[in-house]
Structure 1
Amino acid sequence: MISLDTLRASRLSCYGYSKATSPHLDRIAREGVLFEKAFAADIPTEVAHTGIFTGKIGLTTGVVSHGSELTHLPKSTEWLPSMLRSAGFTTSAVDNLYQLKEWFARGYRYYMNSVGGNRWIDGRTVNELAMPWIEQHQDENFFLFLHYWDAHTPYLPPDSYVPEFYEAGKDPFDPRNKSMEGAYNHPAYPFFKHHHYDLVGEVTDSDYYDALYDAEIRYLDDRLKELDDHLEKLGIQEETMIILFGDHGESLTEHDIYWDHCGLYEPTVHVPMIIRWPGRIPAGRRVSGLVQQVDLLPTVLEAACKEGIAGIDPSKLVFPSGLDGISLWPSITGDADGTNDTLLLSECAWQAARAIRTQRYKFIRTYDSGPFTRPPRELYDLLEDPEETVNLAEALPELAESFEVQLNEWVERKLAGRADPMTRQLQEAGLPFRKRIEQILRSASMTWDEWYENPQRERFDSAIKHSR
């Protein structure tokens, strides 16, 4: 089970991208089932993975915020690795989410923490830990979770990967190019200066950052090929079920979001999801209906039960109560096309918002826009406006109102009388990522309100330099 952190579906060749970012992922998709409209119900990383391993959205678990000190997941909550281990699987992970919350290490017999000296984790490190472990345990029934971070900022691919995706002869540092001005003068600039821009250099061309992102995906694709080739070399590729998914996508300047994963727009919530299991599921099938990440848990449990794996006790794999996820097996076999007609989306990190996503429409209700300028209500016709550029909330007020009523009723129904964890977060602690910016601003002797009124790069850089 492979998490491809920050991987945007529309940037993969198998999802229609024109550049060759993902030749091996494309091959895996041809050999298995690709879900064309898979979505992250909760973003970003912490809440997405919590949903994946519980089969429940954030409103059910109470985990809706990324990086919040208020968040807690009770040990009584059913957790996929724990269930699989109790049924007889040898469980292992190459991952560093334990650095964020303790529950991400639950259920593993072996937990190999991939954290390094900085925030950027090379996929080569993941393979160096994973491949020997697979070789040592190849004769066992194992569940292995791998977490690749290559597509996450800062984009630092090997230099040899960049030319394929950046126009020859262009100078990414040409001072005449002003396309980075929006990013450099954004209210979130102090955070990204330290964690991204300073690490890449004085880039002036925004297209260069997009090229770096594409190059990271291609580098990641090569690491996945190494892993897959290793399975083939060991002779276990044909019997191994592989699940690949993005935990969330990435916005590349859309909606005033510069190389980050916030906002409930398609670049961030539409994620890749591909499953391959030779001889057990069809090859080359593409599912066009709506599915979500929480559907993976019941899918894995059903797979482990229905195949009658020797040494596995299926009585330990009973579906937990209150799941939001629905097994993907009917969609895999062709008996269904997706698991939902309507999805609930949520975020509470840079900004706090919820959304309803249907095959045609998306309605977004923003409660706190953080460092962004957002209307309280957004409505998009995704068939006519797939880029979500024309907000129809005022032009179609009755439709917008009906979606808001549906959203509120959905939230109340899921909470079933419990306090809303998003409301608690905003009232007691505020947006987690705004607090990160405030911490950085303090080092420049600036307040949030002072900076937000006049977010100019030169002003912040000068203040930082003066304070030092």
Structure 2
Amino acid sequence: MKIVMVSLDTLRASRLGCYGYGKPTSPHLDRIASEGALFEKAFAADIPTEVAHTGIFTGKVGLTTGVVSHGSELAHLPKSAEWMPSLLRAAGFATAAVDNLYQLKEWFARGYRYYINSVGGNRWIDGRTVNDLALPWIEQHRDESFFLFLHYWDAHTPYLPPESYVPDFYEAGRDPYDPRNRSMEGAYNHAAYPFFKHHHYDLVGPVTDSAYYDALYDAEIRYLDDRLKELDDGLERLGIRDDTLLVLFGDHGESLTEHDIYWDHCGLYDQTVHVPVIVRWPGRIEAGRRVRGLVQQVDLLPTILEAVRREAPQGIDASKLADPAGLDGRSLWPAIGGETEGTHETVYLSECAWQAARGVRTDRYKFIRTYDSGPFRRPPRELYDLAADPEETVNLAESDPERADRFERDLNEWVRRTLGGREDPMERQLSQAGLPFRRRIEQILRGAGLDWEEWRRDPRRERFDRAASRGN
């Protein structure tokens, strides 16, 4: 038995053809979805990258593990925490990763017999690099039962796809640098601009058309899709495609100017928390299955463990793969088999990097409670009727306060119940260290001789650029 688990960093579900997008971003992903099961309403309970992957490999949400913040020195996962690669290795799988999350936290290398760090001399990682490292390893271990984790970063900023990929997504004859186009002003004059100036904007050039950034994002997805086809072709060439459980997921999505978020992944809106989850296992999963109920990323761990128990591969001690105690995730197999619509009626959401907020997502409603808005301007409470307002543009918290109150009570009770008397890690983060990404902006501003509060009141690009040039 082979398990290939693929993280598609920063991949927004609604930008894929199999999730309804009209542009040709994902022909091979669409094919994989047609050969297996696609989860239409899959959500990242914790964002962004660090907390999302911690949840995926533990099967527990951040409030359970205590890891709720990305880039925080306070975050710690005890070595006693049960971890998917460690469980699989103990059961007899050869375990490997092509990944660089070890650069963030040490626990991301736990459990791997082979950890191939994909980080290079530059910050960015090309999907071709991942394949160049992964495919030889697969060939060397083709006759073993293995678990391989692959982490592709192509859809993450900076959007720098090969030029040949861009024309399919940007209108011919349109000038991305037209000085008359002012659609980038919101991005360039945002309080987060000092953080994004280099790897968002300087690397791409003096773009004036925000639609060009959207086109670059789509082009990156198409480039990623081609790399996934290379991977899949490699499995076929080696004769192990049909023996491989292939699990693809987005760790979070991406906001493309919505909600005052410019090509980044914060905010508990569906642009960021609605992620693709696609599972293919020839002969075991019905082709073309579409699961319409709510599921979340932490469901992947119990799903994979159950798959091994079902398959009982030779040489693997499946008795060591009982579900760990205290899981927040639930196996997706009943939903895959059509016995249930999903795994959860309610998904609870959390972020603590750019902003500190928690939310409640049901099939129809989204409630968000913001505790610290960071560089953004947010009301303390937001309520959206997703059936009438799928883009989450009409906040009903004041016009429907009773419903908002019910959601807030439900959220508070979930927090209380999940913590079970333990300290709230979000409160600890805010009281002891503050928001990690706000601190990064403050450091940049100090280097330019600017004050955070003053900058937040008047965040003009020219003002920062002048100050930064004087500092240099």
TM-score (norm 1): 1.00
Tell me, what secondary structure is at the counterpart of 1:200? coil
Provide the secondary structure at the position in 2 that maps to 1:302. Answer: helix
Superposed counterparts of 1:409-424, under 5 Å: 409-424=413-428
2:54 alignment counterpart: 50
**Equivalent position SS for 1:2:** strand
Q: For residue 303 of structure 2, what is the aligned residue in structure 1?
A: 299
Structure 1 residue 450 displacement after superposition: 1.9
For structure 2, list consecutive stretches of 5 or more residues without a partner in the other structure.
Answer: none
User: Which of 207, 213, 217 is the equivalent residue of 1:213?
Assistant: 217
> Could you say which residue in structure 2 is the equivalent of 1:124?
128
Equivalent residues in 2 for 1:14-413, closer than 5 Å = 14-413=18-417
Q: 1:9 is aligned with what amino acid?
A: A
Cα deviation, residue 318, structure 1: 1.1
Find out whether 1:425 has 2:429 as its counterpart: yes
The 2-side partners of 1:450 and 1:123 are apart by: 41
Q: Using the alignment, how far apart are the partners of 1:55 and 1:308 within structure 2?
A: 21
Moved over 3 A (4+): none
| SS at structure 1 position matched to 2:203 | helix
C-alpha displacement at 1:437, in angstroms? Answer: 0.5
How far has the Cα of 1:438 moved from its partner? Answer: 0.9
Question: Counterparts of 2:456 and 2:108 in 1: how far apart (Å)?
Answer: 35
User: SS at the partner of 1:356?
Assistant: strand
Q: Which amino acid aligns with 2:459?
A: P
Secondary structure of the structure 2 residue equivalent to 1:152: coil
What is the one-letter code of the residue matched to 1:408?
N
Post-superposition offset of 1:154: 0.3
- How many residues are aligned here? 468
| Alpha-carbon distance in structure 2 between the residues aligned to 1:314 and 1:378 | 45
| Cα RMSD (Å) | 0.5
Deviation of 1:440 after TM superposition, in Å, equals 1.0
Alpha-carbon displacement from aligned partner over 1:401-449 (angstroms, at most 9, x marks no partner) = 0000000000000000001000000000000000111111122111211
Alpha-carbon shift at residue 194 of structure 1 (Å): 1.8
Shift of 1:136: 0.2
Instruction: Give the aligned partner of residue 13 of structure 1.
Output: 17
Q: CA offsets, 1:50-97, max 9 Å, x none?
A: 000000000000000000000000000000000000000000000000
Please state whether the residue corresponding to 1:371 is helix, strand or coil: coil
| 2: CA distance, partners of 1:85 / 1:447 | 50
Q: Gapped runs of 5+ residues in structure 1?
A: none
CA–CA distance in structure 2, aligned partners of residues 447 and 338 of structure 1: 48
Instruction: Find the counterpart in structure 2 of residue 454 from structure 1.
Output: 458
Sequence identity of aligned pairs in percent?
79
- Structure 2 residue 8 is the aligned partner of structure 1 residue 4: yes
Deviation track 1:326-353 (CA, whole Å, cap 9, x = no partner) reads 0000011111110000010000000000
Q: Residue type of the partner of 1:322?
A: G
Q: Distance in 1 between matches of 2:314 and 2:156?
A: 39
Write the distance in 1 (CA, Å) between the matches of 2:175 and 2:65: 48
Normalised TM-score (structure 2): 0.99
Q: CA deviation at 1:279?
A: 0.4
